[in-house]
Amino acid sequence: MKTLRVFAPATVANISCGFDVLGCCLQGVGDEMQISLSKIPGVRITKIDGADLPMEAAKNVASVAVIALLEKLKDTKTGVEIEIYKKIKAGSGIGSSAASSAGAVWATNELLNKPFTAQQLVAFAMEGERLASGNAHADNVAPALLGGFTLVRSYSPLDILKLNTPKDLYMTIIHPQIEVKTADSRRVIKTNVPLKKAVTQWGNLGGFIAGLYTNDYDLLSRSLDDVIIEPMRSILIPKFKEVKATAIANGALGAGISGSGPSIFALSKGKKAAEKVADAIKEVYKPTEIEFDIHVAGINPNGVTVISIDY
């Protein structure tokens, strides 16, 4: 096996009550990447389609993640060539950089006969996130690599869990095409929080995780509340309150900011419900000048997957 073409999925991080720890993987929304082994040592970006991203290996999240992987193996001989077919828009808040980092390390690991588990790959993909935002967070790369819902139990030591995924959950994502950089979005967050609000948040996170394991959609709905981050970050997203209220009024279990925004997610039970939510929230953005994309996606249980193999 010399060349692997993979699907690198988009992801939703935080999911209201799980700031910096929860994430989930989307079905059908994502990039394609082609990773090839080469006899010429070093990691190279050989093609980028669909986005204006750095070709220089030290500046591209995909190559930086693969470099971290090869360094861990103390491998100085292997060459890796990366082609990126970008479909997720940069800065959308659905894990664009994470998809590239995760896709690249996952495919490289396959081509090298799996020296690492998916859990272990998270650490390398996080190096891509460090380059993208200055913060090596795992809440997008973990679900991109493991699929389903994931929890970053701990960063030190890194401990990533794949949680149960109720089968009828669907995401509706609206991406207003305004720029909110992750670094800016982190800057609006206060470094101290009232203990009382932290307790409220961990009650909700606990409820959400219990809901995932018991397939209790009503509990998931009650738990989808963020009293800490959303009030600070949502001011950066036009029409956030209206979109959220409209989604819930149209049957969504809950809605919130996807990652650091500006995308807004709504979680629904069943595809039809998620499509109804999509139709409703479109109408909120239509009267504005802001262009937007909208996606309805199931939860992807697998993470990065193979599209084709060339021997």
Q: Tell me which residues are annotated as active site.
A: 129, 182
Q: Which string of x and - marks every residue 150-169 that binds its own copies (by CB under 8 A)?
A: -xxxxx---x-x-xx-----
Bridge partners for 306 per DSSP: 6
Give the one residue of 1, 189, 245, 307 binding its own copies; rule: CB under 8 A.
Answer: 189
Q: Which string of x and - marks every residue 91-130 that binds its own copies (by CB under 8 A)?
A: ----------------------------------------
CB closer to its own copies, 19 vs 116: 19
CB closer to its own copies, 57 vs 193: 193
- Amino acid type, 27: Q
What whole-number distance in Å separates Cα of residue 145 and Cα of residue 267?
21
Bridge partners for 37 per DSSP: 80
CB closer to its own copies, 85 vs 155: 155
Q: What is the DSSP letter of 50?
A: S
CB closer to its own copies, 174 vs 267: 267
Give the one residue of 51, 90, 112, 193 binding its own copies; rule: CB under 8 A.
Answer: 193
Say if residues 141 and 120 touch (Cβ distance below 8 Å).
Answer: no
Q: Residues in contact with its own copies, total (CB under 8 A)?
A: 40
What whole-number distance in Å separates Cα of residue 252 and Cα of residue 267?
6
What whole-number distance in Å separates Cα of residue 306 and Cα of residue 7?
6
Q: What is the DSSP letter of 299?
A: B
CB closer to its own copies, 193 vs 306: 193
Q: Which string of x and - marks every residue 241-280 that binds its own copies (by CB under 8 A)?
A: ----------------------------------------
What is the separation, in whole angstroms, between the first and last Cα of the chain? 4
Tell me: does residue 209 bind its own copies (CB under 8 A): yes
Q: Which string of x and - marks every residue 9-48 that binds its own copies (by CB under 8 A)?
A: ---------xxxxx--------------------------
**Beta strands 79-85; 158-162: pairing state:** unpaired
What whole-number distance in Å separates Cα of residue 189 and Cα of residue 207?
24
DSSP run (H or E) holding 84: strand 79-85
Tell me: does residue 207 bind its own copies (CB under 8 A): yes
Tell me: does residue 201 bind its own copies (CB under 8 A): yes
Give the one residue of 192, 286, 289, 311 binding its own copies; rule: CB under 8 A.
Answer: 192
Find the shortest distance in angstroms from Cβ 27 to its own copies.
Answer: 22
Long-range CB contacts (within 8 A, 24+) of 137-140: 137/13, 137/20, 139/13, 139/14, 139/18, 139/20, 139/21, 139/22, 139/23, 139/259, 140/11, 140/13, 140/23, 140/95, 140/97, 140/98, 140/99, 140/102, 140/259
Tell me the torsion sign for CA atoms 305, 149, 180, 244. positive
Give the one residue of 87, 222, 271, 282 binding its own copies; rule: CB under 8 A.
Answer: 222
CB closer to its own copies, 176 vs 207: 207
> Which parts of this chain interact with its own copies (CB under 8 A)?
18-22, 151-155, 159, 161, 163-164, 189-196, 198-207, 209-210, 213-214, 219, 222-223, 228
